[in-house]
Structure 1
């Protein structure tokens, strides 16, 4: 009886520690998202203050992601070799330094644009070493696959919550002084750094002894056996973020240019579809558990809903109609993301989890980088070309979700690899 009470107490203490560790880990995607998305609603203001074009303003978002694309796989390998916290902590520090440089340039320099871009490059390097390591760290933290899926839903919710808060926070802070959002990022990084150092402990049996030779051999083996479903997940992730950030850029521009909404009002309006995305991510994380079949079909129907919603924007550009349509688009995207996270995290061995999930993160950043500038170019012509492109991409993502993963009935992710045609 006494042993049962001790074991129960240890279990409760373990759950409490994991809860705080999860909060600390979730702060990373929240802050990294704020560091990028917070600038989207104030891009038109930056264009005026810095005397730059719409395309140049999109580079402030894009350069952050382009740098991360190339460095994320390296960070994934380093986290598999040396440990997750060893990579995350200096990355958060570097992200903060980048924010300080961008803010200082905007405050003090006449020709600030190039220095802002350099600061954003530093932030991109920091983001490469922090955000992608979150997924394997959650996988390391929990033993049960069901707990991993639920926690990944919370991680995506935190990521999306950052997108919900970012337009409001960005508008509020920029309402004081337009460049203050740059200085807000280091403050957020310090908070996350303290939480990670205090709350996230190294999991038991967490031995990172991956040599470069074994890394190359394991990577080749994984891709030779599973390249079809892995490439499908990677491409879907890139398409989702391309659509999301492209639509956010479009909505931010049209709300200000056509409807005259700016500042906090525009921030709240941008937050509506993002809130739907956030709720959908949280609910999906609870629903999917460790069931691969659910993940496949939720992703498929999520992308169908996204495509239909994007296509519907062609029929009217009335204010309420546009907000509602993009809200449904947010639900489709929000439902799909936790499924993709869970498929990867639960299907890859712990030793290689950081590397493979980092490649997925790199593809997502590629979508983030490409979305705003391509949409900015398409907005110069007929808006229908943008709608057609995003609809086709949604259809491609839905087709990949349908064709790439063929789960066997009654099997769980933890017991099997995805079965391919």
Structure 2
């Protein structure tokens, strides 16, 4: 990989890192926010859910706009909107205190709109930047690793910032967004195929919808399976993180930095596993499938054990969460690579956006369902294990890699 491309990739890697911080940094301080804002557990979960829920709707639109007008332009606009939303939420928490909940949600809504135009567009842009499939896979592994590293850093950073003042994790989002904007503007050079003008960019929305419908009809079986797996994997991850955050505080009376460090353990497993998987899978689609199936079966076993074994041992619980993180981390870069390498460049932004939208459905539902089932924790883990088992079966039977490597983007299919 050329040094110039490494700078491009480093700048792009800042986007999932910052988008993750903007969301996951709040998970360890949700109980604190609940007390400060005097709201219920379900209202608290909406601080995470509203950010993800609006992204579900906006991500496909952002994917279409990135195909039509250029990925870099959409990314910069999206990051700017995230910064504006951060200002709204931060000022509401600072100036309105316990009366600012509604305005905080408005700011999170705005952030979700911006996030839809940032991280999801990064994945197809990485696919545009490299010709070598091995470099694409490695680049996607770095992006997913940056995403998961943000999740590792976020509980510790969020807990540390909240020690200064409880709403500081909300207030720093505009600052970190500005850093990413500068990095993208300075280092990311748009490939000619992205936003270069021409016939593809003059197509109307109706033609675009027809093409997407045709593509889904042609490759729907494996695409729908990957969408479902991405959705349910995020549902499980954000659900068990919300549950673990509440359990650490309410059952074990663990707060502050120590709580953030414990939350970072399963997230570190996701980060390390994503990095290793991204390096190993390369352009081997069968290996991508293998990593997905094995990772999902490991996740199923860990979640089922959490439900079956009623143990008060904290480290036993953390160990199972670590194993779950390893399983999720093995899956994510494999799914990214299967989609990015299985879709023609001119349609890649839109299909990747649909996939990202499916993932955000899981992000939105995880904390919400977990907040409702906090007093039925055994049932919650059975739900997670059932979802993981369903994903395992989808990966095993619905994803069928081609026997020979494809030479042309237009002829290539991951199913």
Q: What's the TM-score bracket when you normalise by the shorter of the two chains?
A: over 0.9
Q: Say if 2:361 is the partner of 1:366.
A: yes
Q: What's the secondary structure of 2:403's corresponding residue?
A: coil
* Of 32, 35, 38, the match for 1:51: 38
Offset of residue 317 of structure 1 = 3.5
* Rounded Cα–Cα distance in structure 2 between residues aligned with 1:204 and 1:107: 45
* Of 349, 353, 359, the match for 2:348: 353
- List runs of 5+ in structure 1 lacking aligned partners: 1-13
The residue number in structure 2 matching 1:72 is: 59
8 A Cα contact 1:229 1:405, kept in partner: yes
8 A Cα contact 2:402 2:413, kept in partner: no
Q: Say if 2:275 is the partner of 1:275.
A: no
Q: What's the secondary structure of 2:190's corresponding residue?
A: coil
Q: What's the secondary structure of 1:313's corresponding residue?
A: helix
Q: Say if 2:335 is the partner of 1:340.
A: yes
* Of 10, 23, 27, the match for 2:10: 23
8 A Cα contact 2:339 2:414, kept in partner: no
* Rounded Cα–Cα distance in structure 1 between residues aligned with 2:27 and 2:401: 39
The residue number in structure 1 matching 2:101 is: 113
* Rounded Cα–Cα distance in structure 2 between residues aligned with 1:407 and 1:36: 34
The residue number in structure 2 matching 1:35 is: 22
- Alpha-carbon displacement from aligned partner over 1:344-395 (angstroms, at most 9, x marks no partner): 0011111010000000000000000000110111113x32110110000000
Q: Say if 2:314 is the partner of 1:319.
A: yes
- Alpha-carbon displacement from aligned partner over 1:162-210 (angstroms, at most 9, x marks no partner): 0000000000001000001111111110110000000001213433533
- Alpha-carbon displacement from aligned partner over 1:89-122 (angstroms, at most 9, x marks no partner): 1111110111111111111114100000000000
Equivalences for residues 73-222 of structure 1 within 5 A:
73-110=60-97, 111-206=99-194, 207-208=196-197, 209-210=200-201, 211=203, 212-222=205-215
Q: Are the structure 2 counterparts of residues 259 and 412 from structure 1 closer, same or farther at C-alpha, using a change threshold of 3 Å? A: farther
Offset of residue 407 of structure 1 = 2.3
- List runs of 5+ in structure 2 lacking aligned partners: none
* Rounded Cα–Cα distance in structure 1 between residues aligned with 2:399 and 2:159: 42
Offset of residue 303 of structure 1 = 0.5
* Rounded Cα–Cα distance in structure 1 between residues aligned with 2:403 and 2:56: 36
* Rounded Cα–Cα distance in structure 2 between residues aligned with 1:407 and 1:227: 14
* Rounded Cα–Cα distance in structure 2 between residues aligned with 1:398 and 1:235: 11
* Runs of 4+ deviating beyond 2 Å: 204-210, 407-416
Offset of residue 412 of structure 1 = 5.2
Provide the alpha-carbon RMSD of the alignment: 1.3
Offset of residue 213 of structure 1 = 3.6
* Of 320, 324, 329, the match for 1:329: 324
The residue number in structure 2 matching 1:389 is: 383
Equivalences for residues 236-255 of structure 1 within 5 A:
236-255=229-248
* Rounded Cα–Cα distance in structure 2 between residues aligned with 1:317 and 1:406: 42
Q: Are the structure 2 counterparts of residues 351 and 145 from structure 1 closer, same or farther at C-alpha, using a change threshold of 3 Å? A: same
8 A Cα contact 1:160 1:274, kept in partner: yes
TM-score (norm 2): 0.95
* Rounded Cα–Cα distance in structure 1 between residues aligned with 2:256 and 2:220: 45
- Alpha-carbon displacement from aligned partner over 1:249-290 (angstroms, at most 9, x marks no partner): 000000010111111110000001101110000000000001
* Rounded Cα–Cα distance in structure 2 between residues aligned with 1:219 and 1:409: 25
* Rounded Cα–Cα distance in structure 2 between residues aligned with 1:25 and 1:271: 23
TM-score (norm 1): 0.94
8 A Cα contact 1:292 1:412, kept in partner: no
8 A Cα contact 1:102 1:116, kept in partner: yes
* Rounded Cα–Cα distance in structure 2 between residues aligned with 1:408 and 1:252: 42
* Rounded Cα–Cα distance in structure 1 between residues aligned with 2:344 and 2:193: 14
